Amino acid sequence: MLADPQLADPLVIGTWKVDFDPIDVPRDRFLVAGKAWQAIRAGDADPKTFGLHPPGEGPMFGEWFVAHDIRIDLAALNKVETLLWDVWGTGAGGDREMTDAVCELYDRTSLVVCDDVPFDAARRLFAENEGLRTPKTVLSLAPFNGPSEVTLR
């Protein structure tokens, strides 16, 4: 079951014209980070449509933003709870760091962080790759607080 509790707010539902139950999001109305990455790399999706809106404005959109969500998803699959604005690892510096080698890492990782998760592969990838694994201290880009270092428990 997919849920997006942020969409459950009546103001959000009205503003964004949400026409489905946000606590039971239909499979065809939500694109997991791994699938979003694959669509971008295949040329089937514009990277600027992924991130904070308005699309393509501000520092948090594009390939970097989707790679960030892949790291968040991989951490969650490995029972490491983070916040959506916690930043760390390979490619965390924005689209300017999305080199061919970094993109190839996320090409491989996107196959693991997708609809049908191979949990053994997710655990192995997380354990073996320091650039994907969540460190003890992350950079928080929490709204309204400004960037700050946060130590995870």
Task: Report how far residue 1's alpha carbon sits from residue 93's, in angstroms, rounded to the nearest whole number.
Answer: 32
Q: Which residues pair with 149 in a beta bridge?
A: 139
List, for residues 79-119, the tens digit of each pLDDT value.
999 988 898 999 888 878 899 999 999 999 999 988 788 89
pLDDT band, residue 16 (cuts 50/70/90): confident
Q: Which residues pair with 51 in a beta bridge?
A: 61
Token pair listed for 45:
């999706």
Question: What letter does residue 49 receive in the DSSP assignment?
Answer: G
Mean pLDDT score of the chain, rounded to an integer? 87
Tell me: pLDDT of 53 over 90: no
The pLDDT, as a whole number, for residue 9 is: 84
Tell me: pLDDT of 58 over 80: no
pLDDT band, residue 56 (cuts 50/70/90): very low
**Span 67-86, average pLDDT:** 92
% of the chain at pLDDT higher than 70? 92
Task: Report how far residue 129's alpha carbon sits from residue 122's, in angstroms, rounded to the nearest whole number.
Answer: 11
- Strand order through the sheet with 86-87: 86-87, 137-140, 148-151
Domain ranges of the chain: 1-30, 32-83+90-134
Q: In 3D, which of 46, 35, 30 has the Cα closest to residue 111?
A: 35
